[in-house]
Amino acid sequence: MNMIKLAFICLLAIALSACQTTYNPETDASPSYNFAKVKTFAIVGDEDNKNILLSDIDRERINSAIVQSLTNAGKRQVDEKDADVLIAYFVYTKDKTRVYSTGVTATYCYHCIYRPAPTVHVRNYTEGTLIVDMIDRETDKSIWRSSLSKSVKKTDNAQEKQQKIQAIIDSMIKQLPQA
């Protein structure tokens, strides 16, 4: 009986871990910058662009996720004038189409002629991209950039949306050089 319970728990753990989405951001960092000196940050967000596609609610979700991730990484949020680095971000979407074939299928019936034909599938979707920049406040130059593009999917509720944003930001901040 105990072996059955153990097997069930193992299968449940595997099934739950399979449901978790893995994010793999593309990251680039200045090789000459000393990231060890970065202790404080300020978020400037998308103030330069004020993207109309991004609601103030989602802007606050992104800000909150950045603060949590950088705080967990040992950094401290301060006013912009006192920060070592500034964190800026930009969000954009792009409508895309994916066309793929599943190979050749054959049509045959008693009255028909055998006709091989490829099965073509077309899928329209929206791809969203989040770009996060870390800018040295003194030089006003970008020292680190991370971007992640994913198919945009509808979320069921605000909590689920916040969790997805947090997971995306966490995956980006994990790529930050520790020096």
Q: What is the pLDDT of residues 130-149, one digit of tens each?
A: 999 999 999 999 999 999 98
Query: Which domain covers residue 133, as residue numbers?
Result: 40-96+127-173
Side chain identity, residue 108: Y
Quick one: tokens of 69? 């991730």
- For residue range 68-127, list pLDDT tens digits in order: 999 999 999 999 999 999 999 988 877 778 787 776 665 556 666 656 667 777 878 778
More confident residue, 15 or 133: 133
pTM of the model: 0.74
Q: Is residue 148 domain-resident?
A: yes
Number of domains in the chain: 1
The answer to the question of residue 107 being in a domain is no
In this prediction, residues 146-165 reach a mean pLDDT of 84
Q: What percent of the chain lies above the pLDDT cut of 90?
A: 45
